[in-house]
Amino acid sequence: MFKPEALLSELEKTGAAVAEGEMMAMHTSFRIGGPAAVYIRVSSAAQLGQVLEVLGRFSVPYFILGRGTNLLVSDDGIRRAVISMTESASGDLSQIRIADGIKAEDDETVYVEAGAGITLARLASFARDNGLTGLEFAAGIPGSVGGALVMNAGAYGGEMKQVVSSVRLMQPDGSITEVPGGEMRFGYRTSRLKEVPDTAEKGAVSAIALGAVFELKKADPAQITRTMQELAAKRMEKQPLEYPSAGSTFKRPEGYFAGKLIMDAGLAGYSVGGAQVSEKHCGFVINKGGATAADVKQLMCDVTEKVLQTYGVLLEPEVIMVE
């Protein structure tokens, strides 16, 4: 086991912000989660590389955190170092710009380069302000670019797969590569960034997204704004945005909608402790106040069992469980 004092001392030399016992409830949209063994906030690819070198030297496993919008963290916390890549005031992980030096196929195509720490809301706003269409669907997704690349985030018919031209990756050894979007193996809420070999040791990780280049098209900013406003109105009407949650709790089963199956099974409003199946949208499990990870897990188990018994459909979690 590593010596905390020595590890913290070496991590602080990288310039990253480091803390012990940081409560993950402060960093997840569910507002649930116990302490991280070590919490590290990085702002640049260079700093991230230094942090990975230190963790490797001390044989400390780690977990990469975006904005925590699709996570259920154990009440006991995370027994790994947590590396946060959320947006900061400086550093290349928080930069966004019109990409230079990329030859477009036509006069209507424009490329935008964005760091992994940038929020999808900021990315979508940047595209709108520059008269670029393709990211309207992302405006209301609360995650970061990095998390969106891992999960192939999407909504209302749009997804990352449709707009990602290339992704800049850091391997666990600190080396950096550029991967075409077509090689990211984007699928329904997955990508190559979620893949870890079956033979890998527990705690192993895949490559880490540092940022991406997005291929967008020129369009009327007013129309882009209208589309974003329409999608925002739909979210407000249909989703329980007034409560902490991790978004859609279950993946969409082929040929079905998880929320409708749960509602038709009579589970709207079903509660375990402070966790509840939203009555507004049964596809969401919400934190009504004081919910624990154990509450959410038990509720998800109950819902899965009831839907399977009633309809013969096995629901799979979309929420990622971390400990």
Is 248 a residue of the active site? yes
What's phi and psi for 113, nearest 5 deg? -105, 130
Which residue, 4, 34, 33, 42, is CA-closest to 20? Answer: 4
Is 189 a residue of the active site? yes
Dig out the tokens for 312 from the structure.
Answer: 């013969």
- Active-site residue, from 10, 22, 87, 318: 318
Dig out the tokens for 112 from the structure.
Answer: 């935008």
User: How many residues does the structure list for the chain?
Assistant: 323
Is 122 a residue of the active site? no
Percentages helix, strand, coil for the chain (3-state, rounded to 5) are 30, 25, 40
- Active-site residue, from 84, 245, 248, 278: 248
- Active-site residue, from 67, 80, 168, 189: 189
b vs e for 258-291, b when ≥16 Cβ sit within 10 Å of the residue's Cβ? bbebbbebebbebebbbbbbbebbbbbbbbbeeb
**Pairwise CA distance, residues 276 & 285, whole Å:** 6
Q: Provide the annotated active-site residues.
A: 189, 248, 318
